[in-house]
Structures are given as C-alpha cells and as structure tokens.
C-alpha cells in the first residue's frame, strides 16, 4: 500500500506547471509578450464592424477602442494626459507598468541615438 494519497503537492515539475494559470494567445496575431496582456481581454463581441479588436480592462472594465497595448499599459500605470487611469488597478501592477513604460522609453531613446 502506497503512503502517497495525492493530497500533497507533487514535486514532479511537469505536473506543477500544469496548475499555473495560462494567458491564452490568439492565433494569427503577433506574439503577445507584453506583461499588460495579462491584465486585459480582447472583446471581439464589441468590435463588430471595426477593423481592430477592442481591449477591456480586467479591473475596471473600461473599453479601449484604439491605441493598442501601449495605451492600455498607460491606463494601468496611471500616466497623466494620455488616458484615464484605472481606479481599481492593484498598486503592484501599477508599479510594474510604470517601470515597463520607463524601460520602453529608454530603449527607444538608445535606438534613436544609434541612428544619428
């Protein structure tokens, strides 16, 4: 008789990974590697007659009709002047998005300097 009753977590890495939440990626689209994709969902039901799919914030349910993932990231980060900030975004997510936007701006600046 085995002493393993299945009530303890398995140390097998293949089964440990299966319990992690996964972010579904739409096939046919470019790779969705940005962190912000985990905090929104695409809403094709709201995009009838539009060329671009609309995004919906998972925290406040605000719908974004344009601007893409960068505008959505500004929403989560609370960037002033561009979009309305998310009033329900957790502080750790907000901080993560602020750091990501700063990193993107620094990368663009370095690329522009290379071109000169």
Question: How much is the pLDDT for 46?
Answer: 85
Question: Would the pLDDT of 81 be above 90?
Answer: no
Question: Would the pLDDT of 108 be above 50?
Answer: yes
Torsion sign, CA atoms 47, 68, 35, 25? positive
Question: How much is the pLDDT for 48?
Answer: 82
* Number of Cα atoms under 13 Å in the Cβ half of residue 99: 7
- Spatial CA neighbour of 37 closest among 61, 65, 72: 72
Instruction: Report the alpha-carbon distance of residue 40 to residue 69 in Å, rounded.
Output: 9
What does the pLDDT look like over 32-53, one tens digit per residue? 888 999 999 998 888 788 888 8
Higher pLDDT pick, 29 / 102: 102
Helix residue ranges, H only, 9-90: 13-18, 68-77
């Amino acid at each position: 008789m085995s002493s393993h009753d299945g009530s303890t977590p398995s140390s097998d890495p293949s089964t440990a990974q299966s319990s992690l939440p996964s972010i579904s990626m739409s096939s046919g689209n470019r790779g969705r590697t940005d962190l912000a994709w985990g905090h929104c969902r695409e809403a094709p039901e709201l995009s009838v007659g539009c060329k671009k799919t609309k995004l919906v914030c998972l925290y406040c349910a605000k719908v974004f009709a344009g601007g893409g993932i960068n505008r959505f990231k500004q929403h989560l980060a609370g960037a002033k002047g561009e979009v309305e900030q998310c009033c329900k975004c957790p502080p750790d997510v907000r901080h993560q998005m602020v750091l990501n936007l700063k990193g993107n701006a620094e990368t663009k600046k370095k690329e522009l300097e290379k071109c000169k």
